[in-house]
Structure 1
Amino acid sequence: MITLSPITVTKASGEQEHYDESKLTKSLASSGLSVDVAAQTVEYLKSHMKPGISTGDIHEHISNFLKENAPVNNYYNYGLKRAIMDLGPSGHPLETIVSDALNSKGFQTEVSVIVLGKCVTHEIDVVAKKDNRQFFIECKFHNGPGVKTDIQVALYTYARYLDVKSAMEQGHGTEINMAWQISLSPQVSIRLP
């Protein structure tokens, strides 16, 4: 039987949910914290929890704890998503970050490329090439917390991929091997090949 915490958390979207310690631990681990540092952070946060606490306040408490008690890279990794959001309202900084990250992995990249499809032309956020393969990358950026990238984005990214692939198969356009979608969403993590 699952027991729900009596403490509710107010998400950035305004939605309320019961505090879930395992969800927090998973979030801390996904930002690169060791099991020990994550456990210490969760223990620290317990003394600051109150009904209706916002995710912003939780993030602030955790950031303060990590800044004082953890290796510096833990502090910076935990705040990476928020730091990218602070870059401004356009998605271009995320495209540049993705491009630079892929370059560090041996890809050749271009940002904001116009590509011919069978039906229309498309602006592709990042085109990455490696080992005779080419990838089109759609970067979704939201500069405010609580905004999610929904299934329609994945569907139109796939439709764009099919349009460009169709043009390629007819002997014109740009060859493409795969499309990626990268989003600053809690449900999506960026993993480089």
Structure 2
Amino acid sequence: MKHVTKADGGRQPFDTVKVQRTLQRMGLGAGDAERIAGEIEESVPDGVRTAAVLRMIRSRARTVRPAVGHRTNLRRALGLLHPKPDFEEFVRVLLREHGYRVRTGCVLNGRCGEHEVDAIAEKDGTTVFVEVKHHVSHHRVTGLDEGRIARAIIEDLQEGFRSGRCVVDIDGALIVCNTKLSEHAKRYAACRGIDHIGWDYPEEQNLRTMIEETRSYPITIVSNVNRSVSTRLAAAGIVTAKQLAEGDTATIANDAGIPLKEVLLIAGRARAILEP
């Protein structure tokens, strides 16, 4: 059995099914994904680094679906967004895509103090405040502090509502981050009833699956979109590839202060990525 070496130096068995899933997320059919995954497993040496496997996946996938060449790795794309306001707005757009009613610019009065939250989200009769945590490096782990802070804010806001200081009846908190969560953070959130969305947590509806289900990729999924360009687009309200692909390019170019030729190029690549 062959093994791969992860970024942290750990080793694990080569997972052909995982490679197939990655290929399918890039838009390949099941048959092509299975064939290419088998070819990669056969050709790599034991102990190959996961980064090298990913490069092989992208290279082989491009031969079947050229649009793969227009996109970067999703985890890297999320890391390329600025924490504020780009990633915060991206999370708000993603939540709306999943049926949440989202309000922004919210300052809520608790019993003991004011709390500026990234959003208030409502769905199925439940109202939560949203806290967004972003790491530039997707290898970082989101720890316990965010959950402990959120718990304290929940208590203060709920006491504030009962005393008449807070106008919103908050049921809980939703913490969204672009990285994996520590096991301690998961246990604490589960124990305290705090909803937590991380890169691969919870299994049923995590950040990756939420993005892929609605094809709400960040604008930085498009290759050669750097932070400067993504920031200008975000200022014009464009944080996803879908918004750019479906929007009026002339208006976007004018609002973002980016040459129309460059916007047309990025929009064309975005449409190619989004094609089924």
1:53 and 2:48 matched: yes
Q: Does 1:129 align with 2:122?
A: yes
Identity %: 17
Question: Normalising by the residue count of structure 1, what TM-score does the alignment of the two structures yield?
Answer: 0.72
CA shift in 2, pair 1:68/1:154, >3 Å: farther
2:18 pairs with 1:24? yes
- How far 1:16 sits from its partner (Å)? 1.6
Task: Tell me: CA distance 1:101–1:8, structure 2 relative to 1, closer, same or farther (3 Å).
Answer: closer
Matched, 1:10 2:6: yes
Is the counterpart of residue 42 in structure 1 residue 55 in structure 2?
Answer: no
Q: 1:93 to 1:115 in 2, by over 3 A?
A: same
Higher helix residue share: 2
In structure 1, runs of 5+ residues without a counterpart are: none
CA RMSD of aligned residues (A): 3.4
Instruction: Tell me by how many angstroms 1:183 deviates.
Output: 1.9
- Cα 1:26–1:39, aligned 2, differ >3 Å: closer, same or farther? closer
Q: Could you tell me which amino acid in structure 1 is paired with residue 5 of structure 2?
A: V
The total of aligned residue pairs comes to 183
Closer, same or farther: CA 104–121 of 1 in aligned 2, 3 Å = same
Distance 1:6 1:87, change over 3 A: same
Match of residue 107, structure 2, among 114, 119, 144 = 114
- Once the two structures are TM-superposed, the CA of residue 50 in structure 1 deviates from its matched residue by 3.4
Q: Which runs of 5+ in 2 are unaligned?
A: 180-198, 212-276
Q: Partners of 2:142 and 2:21 in 1: how far apart? A: 18
- Kindly provide the amino acid, as one letter, of the partner of residue 78 in structure 2: I
List structure 1 segments (4+ residues) > 6 angstroms apart after TM superposition: none
- TM-score normalized by structure 2? 0.53
The verdict on how the C-alpha distance between 1:18 and 1:102 changes in structure 2, with shifts beyond 3 A counting, is closer
